[in-house]
Amino acid sequence: MSPGRRNDSFAGDSHVGLVRSGNEDAFLVAPPLFAVADGLGGHHAGEVASSTAIDTLLEAAPRAADAKSLGRAVRRANTAVIQAAESGLGRSGMGTTLTAAMVDGTRIAVAHVGDSRAYLLHFGELQQLTQDHSMVADLVRQGQLTAEESRHHPNRSVITRALGSDPNMLVDTFEIEAADGDRLLLATDGLTSMVDDDRIEQALGSEPTPQAAVDALVDSALTAGGHDNITVVVVDIGKASAGNGQRIAAVKQPGANRSALWLLWVLAAIAIVAGAVWSANSYARTQAYLISENGMVMIYEGVPGDFAGISMSWLSEETTLSASSLDVVTANRLAAGIRVDGLEQAHALLEEYRARTTGEPPSAPAP
């Protein structure tokens, strides 16, 4: 169990979950500044993207809870992620969400890109403060999906805005006036795709401390299956900025996951030498990914790259969809490869992409 980050008035924790081999999320608790980031890109690149964003946010953050200034800091973080990819740190096509909040008494400034979320428990009632920049959120806004359907949609993790690709990326920024005793929650989709709003409201409303609320929410996501990395930050409003704007030392998600990931790879390699190629192969057969090659979208069965020198992917279909017909975020993600759970999801995602280029609504996903 990870030790978490605690104080009486705020807490944060990140858990790798039960399915992923590495943790690409990152978080920051540096009162009055709090943030979560969910990296994407695979092959360690997601970790580089999310940690670069968090580091830059901390350096560039304003001293006051001013949303416009906080938005500028998020744009600086975007530039830093793009530069990191260009300089060979990480990979091109890597990206990250970033949801940041600055708390001054009961005033909260928020800056946000992607599908991580900020919520406020306001007088006991849960309010989602941010709007997801994701394909399913667009479909919900258009009335084509319900919020509950979006939670189970095969393309729920496809985001339409992220740090790391567009130098002119838009940042949502706003300020709200909360009340003494309210609770702020920042979370990656590893929580919100596994745990519904009722449970989140109940945990935030009943747990006595932010640390207890963080632990309860992480446990709920794990109990629900822990399909993704889970990152949760909880802040009690009215207490967090008791230091009168003075920032305490930042506590960030440590890089320990990177060495853990290396250890996993070493263990995996030993397992292969011991004759466990079969199990790696069986796992790969349950996976699929879309990738652009020579400008066209290809569907592969398996996982990208190689595993201890052995390729674990098999071309399944050369599609007729051109990557350049898609938006730049998607095209960049396709260049790096977009992993999904199996060929069925790969075809559903392809349908969505085709629909975007034709303006037709996508055919309904398989039940």
Which one, 9 or 257, has the nearer CB to Mg ion? 257
**Closest separation between CB of residue 27 and Mg ion, Å?**
12
Of 38, 182, 301, 352, the residue at the interface with Mg ion (CB under 5 A) is 38
Q: How many CB atoms lie under 10 A from the CB of residue 159?
A: 25
Token readout for 6 is 């605690």
In the DSSP assignment, the letter for residue 308 is T
C-beta closer to Mg ion: residue 190 or 210: 190
- Nearer to Mg ion (CB atom), residue 126 or residue 230: 230
Alpha helical stretches, state H, the chain: 45-60, 67-86, 135-141, 147-152, 189-192, 197-206, 210-223, 256-271, 277-285, 328-336, 343-358
Answer yes or no: are the C-beta atoms of 160 and 134 closer than 8 Å: yes
| DSSP line for 213-268 | HHHHHHHHHHHTT--S-EEEEEEETTTTTTTTTPPPPPEE--THHHHHHHHHHHHH
**What's the min distance (Å) between Cβ of 307 and Mg ion?**
22
Q: How far apart are CA 90 and CA 165, in angstroms?
A: 13
Q: How far is the CB of 154 from Mg ion (least distance, A)?
A: 15
Amino acid found at 327: D
Residue (228 or 301) nearer to Mg ion, CB: 228
Kindly state the smallest distance separating residue 173's Cβ from Mg ion, in Å. 22
Residue ranges in 255-294 that form contacts with Mg ion under rule CB under 5 A: none
Contact 39, 96 (CB under 8 A): yes
Write out the H or E segment, with its range, that includes residue 10: strand 10-15
In the structure encoding, which two tokens stand for residue 58, read together?
């901390």
CB of 226 to Mg ion, least distance (A): 11
Region 17-36 residues binding Mg ion, contact defined as CB under 5 A: none
Cβ-based nearer residue to Mg ion, 32 or 226: 226
How many CB atoms are located within 10 Å of the residue 346 CB?
26
Q: Which two tokens stand for residue 265?
A: 């790879």
CB of 112 to Mg ion, least distance (A): 15
In whole angstroms, what is the distance from residue 159 CA to residue 21 CA?
Answer: 21
Give dist(CA 38, CA 188) in Å, integer.
6
Residue 107 or residue 112: which is nearer to Mg ion going by CB? 112
Name the residue nearer to Mg ion (CB basis): 12 or 190.
Answer: 190
Q: Which residue, 188 or 257, is less far from Mg ion as judged by CB?
A: 188
How many whole angstroms separate alpha carbon 101 and alpha carbon 44? 26
Q: Minimum Å distance from CB 265 to Mg ion? A: 21
69/160 with CB nearer Mg ion: 160
Site for Mg ion in 201-260 (CB under 5 A): 228
Site string for Mg ion, 185-204 (x = CB under 5 A): ---xxx--------------
Report residue 237 CA to chain centroid gap.
24
Task: Determine the size of the site formed for Mg ion (CB under 5 A).
Answer: 5
Provide the minimum distance between the beta carbon of 43 and Mg ion in the complex, in angstroms, as a whole number. Answer: 16
Show the tokens assigned to 336.
């790096």
CB of 190 to Mg ion, least distance (A): 5
115 binds Mg ion (CB under 5 A): no
Instruction: Return residues touching Mg ion (CB under 5 A).
Output: 38, 188-190, 228
